[in-house]
A and B are shown apart, each in its own frame.
Chain A
Amino acid sequence: MTRRTVGTGDCRLGSRPGEVIDRSRTLEFRWNGAVHRAHPGDTIASALAAAGVRVFSRSYKYHRPRGLLTADILDPGCLLQVGDEPNVRGAHRLAEAGMDVRSQNTWPSLRYDVKAVNQVAGRFLATGFYYKTFIKPERLWPAYERVLRRFVHAGEVPPDGEQLYYDKRYAHPDVLVAGGGPAGMAAAVAAARAGATVMLVEQEHQLGGHLRWGDADDLRVRAELVAAVEAEPGIEVLTDSVVAARYDDNWLAVVQRGLPHVAERLVKARAGTLVVAAGLIERPYVFAGNDLPGVMLSTAVRRLLNLYSVRPGQRAVVVTANPEGDAAATDLRAAGVDVVEVDARHGRTVVRAAGRGGVEAVELSDGSRLDADLLVTATGWTAPTSLLNMSGSNPVYRPDAARFVPDPAATPDTVIAVGGIAGDGTLEELVAHAEAAGREAAARALSLAAAHARIRPTSPGGADAAERAPEPVAPLGLRRHPELFFATPIGGFVDMSEDVSAKDILTAVQEGYDSSELVKRYTTATMGPAQGKLETVNTVALVAHATGSTIAETGATTWRPMYTPVTLGALAGRRFEPVRHSPMQPWHEAHRAAPLVAGQWIRPEHYGDPAAEVRNVRAGVGIIDVTPIGKLDLQGPDVPKLLNLLYVNKWSQLGVGRVRYGVMCADDGVVLDDGVTGRLGEHHYLMSTTSSGAGTVWEWAENWLQTEHPDWRVHITPVTTAFASINVAGPRSRELLARLTDVDLANEAFGYMNVRTGTIAGVADCVLWRIGFTGELSYELHVPASYGLHVWESLMAAGADLGVAPFGVEAQRILRLEKGHLIVGQDTDGLTKAYSAGLAWAVKLDKPDFVGKPELQWQSEHDDHPRLVGLQPLDPTVVPEEASQIISDGGHIVGRITSSRMSPTLGRSICLGQVDAHLADAGTRLTVRLRDGRDTLVEVMAEHAHFDPEGERQRV
């Protein structure tokens, strides 16, 4: 790579009063490989312009050279790649030491871009080119996509790029002011002085708006207003930030940049009153050659001259229709530029800019031709009304002012417009209007806050401000301005981001797309990075011209969020993904448990060899962390009523100290959850649920209590993680547990399906259930969670001579499948009713009522529902994948495998599956289609359980 150092800038002028650069320091960055210098405060574009760079990019379709047009964040010719970051606004982003800046999507270089042949082929890239060309044949779409990607006008995001920190915060200002120009600052100060908290958001790097590049009086007023803002502690100023969207009730999305160590921060602000002080955006003029480097807006010229002390050209033609254009001519002359002024207020204007790679000559409407390297236009303003449109107020076109203006009557009380967007006037008039609006904005916000305070539970009592009705703010007037949108004969570009020419608009109308909304979508005009802020009004004017209607009749397109393009990182913000851990997690990690993500829970899947874990449980004793099992503390005299309602089986006779398995179904009879519930005291129960169903069952139970039975005296408290839960399973589990507990574990004292409370390993208030998901003698211990790790470690230590070992979720799944226990959601799905799941034994239709009873009554009387059955492959080495289809001879699907594993205990493959009713008889042989396309035969078993169907092992 060639590295050459370019001078500090031949186009840099002497020091100027309003400049924002720090001349005492310089920094270096690279532009397309070459080293450039900038002063702190320079944008990338101003530093390059100071060095005489005129061409910054190649255009989207035709790859025409493009230079600076607006010299601000909207500049369509200045989207750059900075390091890993694409589409950086080069005329806004500040130059930093070491930046690697490149032009985007040019090959082999910005100067010699081969895709510029598109200019020659331009007639083939006309309106609707993509729609018309890349349609058929369909089989060529992959090829089309590759071609189109080559021509996409955007930077590149390297997949292995740096992971930046995108932040998010909430804010609740009484008043949010969008725009930090004179009106925005005045409104913010007035609102703060009226007692409101204010967030003042400015897109540029400094407050001040157009005053920054104004004359000495402008700079003085700016300094006074900035000082007033800084003196108000109630104002939070966000620069390099933008209000990107406004939603209902002033829910505002603010994207903040320029923070240390944070790429961007999305501020989700809820404001009492929104003050829109977005100013006015200078509108480009449409004429042949209007995209040549060297064609600039008057505001761009004044920014370059007065903020960055950069001379934008040597010989300038200034086409001006307003005082701001006149001021640009004055500024240029003061900087030593030869200036010819063309007063567009009297019909004389530009019709063509000529040159190769940049402006060389300007042709005027009177036929004259002037040599120039800079053409400045000041032909009108566009009010960026997006935030008002998003508030439901559509702007109204005013031909006398040649711009759309907000309609105050349609604007909600919580939104007020100030400054140039609202109207015209002297600086004093604009500031006075903004101050009145700021005071009113504060009064409305504080009134709203008082209304909220009256009903808020956290209020200690008494409203802190009086509520009042909104009062109108006296409106601003409008300054007359000639309507100047495009020159005739019509030529040039209306949308430089999207390379849409003025003639494309006319073509679209001729083809029948005769409304601005249709033209927008057909031509993509206004759909580029500037989002119509430079292009919409000119587009509408051209559509009006082509359809023979007025601009007011044609109307603008709809402004929707976002106001400005927003990065995906800003929208994503911080990634908040809660994870849940049991108290034994440190032990699992120390013993290299393979983590299993189960919803939010991180659980041990196994500790290296799940088959060995299964064998250890069958032969000796194992312990598993089952903390995620849902647990609900139920208290009150009406708990049995609730249990009888939610479960399909009976609960009235459950004695204290007893545990019962229960199944819950939804209203449609579909199995919702299962688990055991134990009775700890007269009016005290502990319900367990599946691990994944804990939240659902709690809400389900509360829903029935609060909506159907508010009279029942039941309190439900979720206590899932109040207990660490450990299942001690295996023929030697009693022997192990007996070493640590004062509870009598003898079978006659503590039989199967009973509950006891007691001390384990010195920890009081433990709950022990004797139940058996694994099919072995087992005890489920629920230990006060803070002692979970202590009890786990005590079990491991006390059982060392018994060969105690931990087992994970995978071993538990194998054990329960050997035993034929179903898992709700695995062996059942959203259509599986209780009878299909083989739970007929649990359903008690003689109960007066329970949730799902009518559906289950119906199902019990019909025999055509699928059945959950035990299945064993004839080839014991084949394990059909879960969800494999079971098919009949005719190729019809008649069921599926719901669970399958190789059984270490039986040395063969085992399954559960759902099959159609007529195929559910024991001994039936069925075909299973495996994932690789082969078929295998399975046989329906008499029971779900493949091992110990009588349950002898768990009742010892």
Chain B
Amino acid sequence: MSEPAAAVSTAPPVARTALAFPGPRRIVDGWELTARHATGDLVLADLGPLVKLTVRGPAEGAVRAALGTGFGRTARHDEGALAGALVVGAGPGEWLVLGPAGTGGELLAATRAVVADSGEFASVVDVTHGRALVRLTGAAAPALLAKVCAIDLADRVVPDGSAFRSSVARVVTDVVRDDIRDELDDPAGDGTARTRSYLLHCERSSGQYLADALVDAGTEYGIEVGAPPSAR
């Protein structure tokens, strides 16, 4: 038996991230996001639409070489097959590849090609829709995180470009330090000025809870929720 598939027109698909903050929303490239703009010194931004891939493979070897980093460190690819991607060494033999929103197909294909070329047993899974991703930016970010995470965030322990997985407000979270170049306030004028910034990445269904916990912890530092200060 086969019934004719009645053509029912549905609204064009709208993607939603794990986070829904009160207030106005807008649709950007098919994603519904908060329309609030954050201008304060401590900002929590929803980066849910970013492409997120997990890669598994040998901790050392050709896959690691192609991804450009290992456990505990990050690599930003400015050129090559993964241009535009931030690769995070999320665990031993485990990577998280982040790319700009809407590049899912190309980045997935490129990453799979990198893995296939390695000749090693490795796998790639697209978890764009399965994870929550926020960026916490501001000088007070480490003080805020110290209220919800037991890891020492001193420069000496977690410098820019490093990553770890730990409990944040009791949610398993990848914490990635990815400072933002400060173009407006650069006293040395040589592009070295940076603002503290962390990516926090967790399983999707806990994302709203995690964001709420960060806002609660950040109230004393004047945290604002809104559009990211940087489009990265």
Q: Determine if chain A interacts with chain B.
A: yes
A interface residues (Cβ-Cβ under 8 A, vs B): 167-172, 197, 260-262, 268, 270, 449, 452-453, 456-460, 464, 574, 576-583, 586, 600-601, 627-628, 633, 635-636, 713, 715, 717-723, 734-735, 738-742, 744-749, 761-763, 784-790, 793-794, 797-798
Asked if A578 and B170 make an inter-chain contact with CB atoms under 8 angstroms apart, the answer reads yes
Cβ of B189 under 8 Å from chain A = no
Complex Cα gap A794–B10 (Å)? 6
Asked if B169 and A635 make an inter-chain contact with CB atoms under 8 angstroms apart, the answer reads no
Q: With A719-B125, A786-B48 in contact, do A740 and B205 touch (Cβ < 8 Å)? A: no
Contact pick for A576, options B48, B127, B151, B213, CB 8 Å: B213
B residues less than 8 Å from A168 (CB atoms): 147
Cβ of B231 under 8 Å from chain A = no
Q: With A715-B123, A763-B13 in contact, do A798 and B150 touch (Cβ < 8 Å)? A: no
Prevailing SS type, chain B contact patch: loop
The residue on B at minimum CB distance from A633 is B125
The residue on A at minimum CB distance from B172 is A578
Q: With A458-B163, A739-B8 in contact, do A576 and B170 touch (Cβ < 8 Å)? A: yes
Contact pick for B147, options A169, A452, A741, CB 8 Å: A169
Number of interface residues of B (CB under 8 A): 68
B residues less than 8 Å from A763 (CB atoms): 13
Cβ of B114 under 8 Å from chain A = no
B residues less than 8 Å from A633 (CB atoms): 125
With contacts A261-B220, A627-B205, A744-B2 known, what are 10 further pairs, Cβ within 8 A? A577-B170, A578-B206, A580-B209, A635-B125, A636-B121, A721-B131, A721-B204, A785-B129, A787-B129, A794-B10
A residues less than 8 Å from B181 (CB atoms): none
A residues less than 8 Å from B8 (CB atoms): 739-740, 798
Asked if A790 and B11 make an inter-chain contact with CB atoms under 8 angstroms apart, the answer reads yes
Complex Cα gap A713–B119 (Å)? 13
Smallest Cβ distance from A848 to chain B, in angstroms? 24
Complex Cα gap A713–B4 (Å)? 43
Asked if B123 and A762 make an inter-chain contact with CB atoms under 8 angstroms apart, the answer reads no
Complex Cα gap A628–B131 (Å)? 14
Query: Which of B35-43, B154-162, B191-199 makes up part of the contact surface?
Result: B154-162
Asked if A746 and B125 make an inter-chain contact with CB atoms under 8 angstroms apart, the answer reads no
A residues less than 8 Å from B3 (CB atoms): 734-735, 738, 745-746
Asked if B129 and A784 make an inter-chain contact with CB atoms under 8 angstroms apart, the answer reads yes
List 24 interface pairs A-B (beta carbons < 8 Å), by A numbering: A169-B147, A170-B149, A262-B220, A449-B156, A453-B157, A457-B72, A458-B73, A459-B162, A576-B170, A583-B204, A628-B205, A633-B125, A715-B56, A717-B123, A719-B125, A719-B127, A720-B205, A738-B3, A738-B6, A745-B5, A746-B3, A748-B2, A786-B17, A797-B10
Cβ of B54 under 8 Å from chain A = yes
Asked if B128 and A586 make an inter-chain contact with CB atoms under 8 angstroms apart, the answer reads no
Complex Cα gap A780–B45 (Å)? 34
Cβ of B110 under 8 Å from chain A = no
Complex Cα gap A601–B149 (Å)? 23
B residues less than 8 Å from A748 (CB atoms): 1-2
Smallest Cβ distance from B21 to chain A, in angstroms? 12
Smallest Cβ distance from A392 to chain B, in angstroms? 24
Asked if A464 and B129 make an inter-chain contact with CB atoms under 8 angstroms apart, the answer reads no
B residues less than 8 Å from A452 (CB atoms): 157
Complex Cα gap A586–B129 (Å)? 17
The residue on B at minimum CB distance from A464 is B156
Complex Cα gap A717–B2 (Å)? 36
B residues less than 8 Å from A579 (CB atoms): 206, 209
Asked if A790 and B13 make an inter-chain contact with CB atoms under 8 angstroms apart, the answer reads yes
Complex Cα gap A686–B217 (Å)? 38
Complex Cα gap A196–B225 (Å)? 35
Asked if B16 and A583 make an inter-chain contact with CB atoms under 8 angstroms apart, the answer reads yes
Smallest Cβ distance from A467 to chain B, in angstroms? 15
Asked if A738 and B5 make an inter-chain contact with CB atoms under 8 angstroms apart, the answer reads yes
Cβ of B20 under 8 Å from chain A = yes
Smallest Cβ distance from A597 to chain B, in angstroms? 14
B residues less than 8 Å from A717 (CB atoms): 54, 56, 123, 125, 127
Asked if B147 and A574 make an inter-chain contact with CB atoms under 8 angstroms apart, the answer reads yes
Asked if A586 and B6 make an inter-chain contact with CB atoms under 8 angstroms apart, the answer reads no
Asked if A721 and B205 make an inter-chain contact with CB atoms under 8 angstroms apart, the answer reads yes
The residue on A at minimum CB distance from B145 is A170
Cβ of B187 under 8 Å from chain A = no
Asked if A458 and B56 make an inter-chain contact with CB atoms under 8 angstroms apart, the answer reads no
Asked if A761 and B10 make an inter-chain contact with CB atoms under 8 angstroms apart, the answer reads yes
Asked if B12 and A762 make an inter-chain contact with CB atoms under 8 angstroms apart, the answer reads yes
Contact pick for B146, options A169, A261, A582, A628, CB 8 Å: A169
Q: With A458-B159, A721-B204 in contact, do A172 and B154 touch (Cβ < 8 Å)? A: yes
Cβ of B188 under 8 Å from chain A = no
A residues less than 8 Å from B143 (CB atoms): 169
The residue on B at minimum CB distance from A270 is B152
Cβ of B89 under 8 Å from chain A = yes
A residues less than 8 Å from B54 (CB atoms): 717
Smallest Cβ distance from B131 to chain A, in angstroms? 8
Complex Cα gap A734–B54 (Å)? 35
Question: Which B residues, 109 to 145, have Cβ-Cβ distances below 8 Å to chain A?
Answer: 121-123, 125-131, 143
Smallest Cβ distance from A781 to chain B, in angstroms? 14
Q: With A717-B54, A786-B16 in contact, do A723 and B121 touch (Cβ < 8 Å)? A: no
Asked if B209 and A460 make an inter-chain contact with CB atoms under 8 angstroms apart, the answer reads no
Asked if B1 and A746 make an inter-chain contact with CB atoms under 8 angstroms apart, the answer reads yes
A residues less than 8 Å from B121 (CB atoms): 636, 713
A residues less than 8 Å from B154 (CB atoms): 172, 197
Cβ of B148 under 8 Å from chain A = yes
A residues less than 8 Å from B206 (CB atoms): 578-580, 600
Smallest Cβ distance from A665 to chain B, in angstroms? 27
Complex Cα gap A525–B162 (Å)? 53
Complex Cα gap A819–B157 (Å)? 57
Smallest Cβ distance from A23 to chain B, in angstroms? 32
Asked if B157 and A458 make an inter-chain contact with CB atoms under 8 angstroms apart, the answer reads yes
A residues less than 8 Å from B1 (CB atoms): 746-748
The residue on A at minimum CB distance from B92 is A457
Cβ of B171 under 8 Å from chain A = yes
Complex Cα gap A579–B207 (Å)? 9
Q: Which of B122, B146, B213 has most chain A Cβ within 10 Å?
A: B146
Q: Which 10 A-B pairs have the closest CB atoms?
A: A722-B130, A457-B72, A746-B2, A458-B162, A172-B152, A580-B205, A786-B15, A721-B204, A739-B8, A784-B129
Q: With A581-B208, A784-B129 in contact, do A739 and B156 touch (Cβ < 8 Å)? A: no
Asked if A586 and B171 make an inter-chain contact with CB atoms under 8 angstroms apart, the answer reads no
Complex Cα gap A171–B145 (Å)? 11
Asked if B72 and A635 make an inter-chain contact with CB atoms under 8 angstroms apart, the answer reads no
Complex Cα gap A787–B49 (Å)? 12
Contact pick for B130, options A723, A739, A740, A789, CB 8 Å: A723
The residue on B at minimum CB distance from A460 is B159
Asked if B203 and A718 make an inter-chain contact with CB atoms under 8 angstroms apart, the answer reads yes
A residues less than 8 Å from B7 (CB atoms): 739
Complex Cα gap A746–B2 (Å)? 4
Q: With A576-B213, A578-B169, A717-B125 in contact, do A790 and B152 touch (Cβ < 8 Å)? A: no
Q: With A458-B157, A715-B56 in contact, do A601 and B205 touch (Cβ < 8 Å)? A: yes
Contact pick for A170, options B128, B130, B146, B205, CB 8 Å: B146
B residues less than 8 Å from A171 (CB atoms): 146
Q: With A197-B154, A460-B159 in contact, do A578 and B171 touch (Cβ < 8 Å)? A: yes
Asked if A268 and B129 make an inter-chain contact with CB atoms under 8 angstroms apart, the answer reads no
B residues less than 8 Å from A260 (CB atoms): 220
Smallest Cβ distance from A759 to chain B, in angstroms? 10
Smallest Cβ distance from A71 to chain B, in angstroms? 33
The residue on A at minimum CB distance from B55 is A715
Contact pick for B157, options A456, A739, A741, A762, CB 8 Å: A456
